[in-house]
Chain A
Amino acid sequence: MLSCAEFLAEFGDYLDQVASPELRTQLEEHLRECKTCRVIVDSTLKTIKIVTDHDSFTLSPENVEPIVSQVMARVRRKTTPGS
Chain B
Amino acid sequence: MVPFAETGQAAEKDSAIFIEIYGFVPSLFLAQGALATSEYDLINTIILRGAALARADKHAILSAVAAAHGNRYVFALHKRKEGGLTNPALAEFGQKLARSGPCVSKHDVDLLSAIGLNDRAILELVATAALGNMLCALADALNPSLDPELTSEPPPRLGPRNHLWNPNFGPYLQSEASIPTELASLLRDQYGFIPALFRSQALWPELVGAETKALELIVFNEDHLTRVQKESILLAVSAANLNTYGVALHRQVLSVLGESTDISDGIVDGLSSSCLRANDKALLTQILRFRGSDVGRFDSTGLIESGFSQQQILEGIVTTGLGAFFDTLQFGLGTPPDFPPRRVFSEKDLYPGGRDARLTFDAAVRPDPDADLVARVQAGETEAFEELVRRHMRRIFGILNGLFDNYDEAHEAAQEVFVKAFEHIGSFQGRSKFSTWLTSIAVNTGTEFLRQRKPMIPLDEAREEDFRPRRVMSWDEDPEMLFAAGQMKTLVRDAVLRLPQKYRVAVLLRDINQLSTEDAADALGLSVPALKARILRARLMLRESLAAHFLPSEKKNA
Contacts and interface: CB of A to CB of B under 8 A. Distances in A.
Nearest to B385: A75
A40 B472 contact: yes
Majority SS at the chain B contact face: helix
Interface stretch (B199-207, B232-240, B412-420, B457-465): B412-420
A51 B507 contact: yes
Contacts of B106: none
A33 interface: no
Contacts of B181: none
Interface string A36-68: 100110111011111111111111111011011
A55 to B, nearest CB: 5
A61 B382 contact: no
A71 B417 CA distance: 9
B301 to A, nearest CB: 7
A58 B302 CA distance: 9
Majority SS at the chain A contact face: helix
Given A51-B512, A59-B397, A61-B302, A68 B469 contact: no
A58 B489 CA distance: 12
B474 interface: yes
Instruction: Indicate the size class of the contact surface on chain B.
Output: 35 or more
Contact of B419 (A42, A50, A56, A75): A75
A32 interface: no
Contact of A71 (B415, B468, B512, B550): B415
Contacts of B514: 52
Nearest to A61: B282
Interface stretch (B57-65, B254-262, B428-436, B536-544): B536-544
B492 A54 contact: yes
Interface of A: 8, 11-13, 15-18, 36, 39-40, 42-44, 46-62, 64-65, 67-68, 70-72, 74-76, 78-79
Interface of B: 1-2, 72, 145, 152-154, 278, 282, 285-286, 297, 299, 301-303, 305-306, 382, 385-386, 389-390, 393-395, 397-399, 401-402, 411, 414-415, 418-419, 422-423, 468-469, 472-475, 479-480, 485, 488-493, 495-496, 507-508, 511-512, 514, 517, 532-533, 535-536, 539-540, 542-543, 546-547, 550
29 contacts: A8-B469, A8-B540, A12-B535, A13-B532, A15-B536, A17-B152, A42-B474, A43-B474, A50-B488, A51-B495, A54-B2, A54-B485, A55-B301, A55-B492, A56-B493, A57-B398, A57-B508, A58-B401, A59-B414, A61-B286, A61-B302, A61-B303, A68-B389, A71-B419, A72-B385, A74-B419, A75-B385, A76-B382, A78-B423
